[in-house]
Structure 1
Amino acid sequence: MKKSDFNYHLPEHLIAQKPLPDRGASRLLCMDRESGWIADRQFADFIDLIGERDLLVFNDTKVIPARLFGRKQTGGKVEVLVERILDAHHAIAHVRASKSPKAGAVIELDEGHRCLVLGREGDLFQLEFPGANLFELLEQIGHMPLPPYITRADDESDLTRYQTVFAREAGAVAAPTAGLHFDQAMMDKIKTKGAQTAFVTLHVGSGTFQPVRVEDLSEHLMHKEFFSVASDTVDAVRQARERGGRVIAIGTTAVRALESASRSGRLEAGFGDTDLFITPGYQFKSVDAMLTNFHLPESTLLMLVSAFAGYESIMQAYRHAIDQSYRFFSYGDAMFLGEVKERV
């Protein structure tokens, strides 16, 4: 398949610019993975889609306030988006300026902080933050890194709403958006129903928003993201299989973590960088169903869900979502891919 096969027209007004007042108030498009049958529901109905033998796997990554604003010593404005923290004083980052800074340049940040440009790694810059712990600096002067299709500036509410209620491992510069729909009340309902939960970590990078730029998908270079799958999660998956339950991934990032840890053919505990690129024809090894948001045209995530539930079915579901005015992307509505008819 080619990149252009995954294009679709989305009216701009369907791109959600703000979250709904309540996390669980989103709509839920349910699609039966086998037949392609779809139903319009509310996210509150998600609890009816799961059973007591099932295992829900969440991504517990925590979004860091990774966007910084500053100036060059010559006075020009600079925007820094930290892509990955290397240690307490070093990071690689995107730097936006009228003219790219060279090695040795100093960027003056808010509240008297500064960073030094050490060099470049392709499109990214190597930065040093002397005299301050980088995590503490970001908490002090950083802004939440809202996606480029959200055209407003971040505000105080984004500190909590662009973060899942179960976030605990700091390192992402984009939220695992399917998890944003869950509030504590829904987590409690899952526990009451008897379904099990487990966690993986995948630090979502800004590359998740980048469209594929080559028509031939085999030529696409996937961005790398750190992932970790612990032994207790591997055990939880095994136990779910033994009791006849399904492994339901909450978000494409949880899918990528599980499938990255399954490259040997079976799920194994481990951690590292993953560049797994899932396209139609991929054979899933560890995931039976998933909850996801709606994804950008020609994006790797749209290709992933097409691989999971079938290209024609997904494109039909997206056309339906547009016709029914679903809200798209990070702060938008959700979609469930799995067994549906018998469970709703």
Structure 2
Amino acid sequence: MDRTFDHLFQGMNELTLKNIEDQVIVVTGASSGIGLVTARMAAERGAKVVVAARNEEALRQLVEELKEKGHTATFVKADVGEEEDVYKIAATAINEFGRFDTWVNNAGVSIFGHAMDVSNEDINRLLATNFWSVVYGSKVAVKHFKERGIPGALINVGSLFGDRGTVIQSAYAATKFAVHGWTDSIRMELEKEKAPVSVTLIHPGRIDTPYNEHAKSYLDKQPAHRGMVYPPKAVAEAILYSAEHPKRDMHIGSQAKIFEMLGTYFPRFTDKLIEVFLYPTQHKSTPSTPREENALYRAGYGLHERGTNVGWKRSGSIYVKASQYPILKFALVAGIGAIALSTVKGKKK
């Protein structure tokens, strides 16, 4: 059964979450991209925000910016791949505000390169940042919500490459598959025990952030998204909607949903599609930055919402808007399914 029908089961273990303006929201990876936009949007809507990242100066400037606008915010310099640093984030939120109501596991980085070329050391580091950080954050958040006995939201940011493998970013895809599996599994366990936790998995498509500039590159050409890319505000909108309304999944863009559906129902066709289209659309024609210039082991540059991607830059995501209304989402998914089916049939002729 498609996830579109999840609304039919609402009420079985329905939780009531606070309005954004009444929340304390923790956002990891908040110094740039999706995390930065989410923090700014949450603060604008009245939430108290706790921002965390490795780039202390960027966080300091962000908090000063928010406070100058009359918002309430604090920051924590933290490497979320280190368990003790994640505890420090939670402790700061509790010490400053007495609690947190939503925890967003957003921090992440990538590696561009063929799987056999990427060092095991780099893959281990990638796992620490992308996967273990989610494990640490999930455990801290769930423990806090259970102790308080008041419903809270745990929101984990995955990827379209966590739904279907890809080329060139194979190590990144593996970490996001792990995030998806972890999130789906703990959601069922927590729902079974009726824990006061809403668990949401965010499925971003290609997003226009500094993600590619922060990635470690084994390529000769500079990593970049080419083709259709969505603004980080579309992901932030999905995150904040999930902070107020219990949602199982939120896909950012029909691109992400189509990718998931094709991979599920037409796996071999999708293999070939990826082999043809994903190689040239993950880099620009310019030379790659030196391999040592990346944010895998140290903080990347901060306070940039957008990256240097090329292609069709969307102003928003119709799919995110539709996801807030089950009937509209059903109609959109049905249309996407029909398009996907006709595409496959056309290729087979």
Q: TM-score, normalised by structure 1?
A: 0.27
Q: Which has the higher strand share?
A: 1
Q: Which has the higher contact order (CA 8 A, sep 6+)?
A: 1
Larger radius of gyration: 1
Q: Which has the higher helix share?
A: 2
